[in-house]
Amino acid sequence: MKINKLLIATHNIGKFTEIKKQLEVLDIKIVSLSDLGIKEDFEETGETFEANAMGKAKFYYNLAKIPTISDDSGFAVDALNGEPGVHSRTWPGYEASDEELLQMLLYKMKDVPDQERTAKAVCVIAFYNGEEEIITRGEEYGTISKKVESKIEKGLPYSAVFFSKGYNKVFSQLSIEEKNAISHRGIALDKLIKKLSAKGGVNK
């Protein structure tokens, strides 16, 4: 399995930028959906991050016909019984704006004390090349702030309120390098890079 070109299948520019940065260690050409003129959306109907991520990878592989990776990620808040989880983008029952999602989260947690504001960020990365499937998962633990702590990164709203364990900055205040080193997405991507390298698919 040799990969010369890889599609990062997301319309989310924030995710694309983070993922592409981490994949720079690979000796391959990285392309986006917009590079290929692909505008179709994948409807995430799975009940797990794994199902959504692999479904998305296969959907866009079938459109592009080149090896594809995609992700599904979200935040599971302990005080909210794991919500919003896989529904992190469509929590209100529709695809909400970044601002709506943060408003909903902070309202639901307005009476939750500091010691109970724990949460975890989850990311599952899926790779598909028409034959082989690879899935990796990353989790990062932290707490939810009581207010929006920084400018909202487009497509990554929860990063403005999530303090990673051991940091006094929310995710969106970290540099891409810092974030990729400790984040749920960074962990999942690192696992994928190692698996692809072990299979001889890329150069490191």
For the annotated catalytic residues, the residue numbers are 72
Contact between 126 and 135 under an 8 Å Cβ cutoff? The reply is yes
For residues 143 and 88, give the distance between their C-alpha atoms in angstroms, rounded to a whole number: 16
Could you tell me the two tokens for 28?
Answer: 């391959």
For residues 112 and 129, give the distance between their C-alpha atoms in angstroms, rounded to a whole number: 45
Contact between 39 and 65 under an 8 Å Cβ cutoff? The reply is no
**Order of strands, edge to edge, in the sheet holding 68-77?**
29-32, 5-8, 68-77, 118-128, 133-144, 162-164
For residues 25 and 45, give the distance between their C-alpha atoms in angstroms, rounded to a whole number: 33
| Burial readout 48-77 (b: 16 or more C-beta within 10 A, e: otherwise) | ebbbbbbbbbbbbbebbebbbbbbbbbbbb
- Distance from the Cα of residue 150 to its chain's centroid: 19
Q: Which residues pair with 23 in a beta bridge?
A: none
Q: Is the peptide bond before 113 cis (omega within 30 degrees of 0)?
A: no
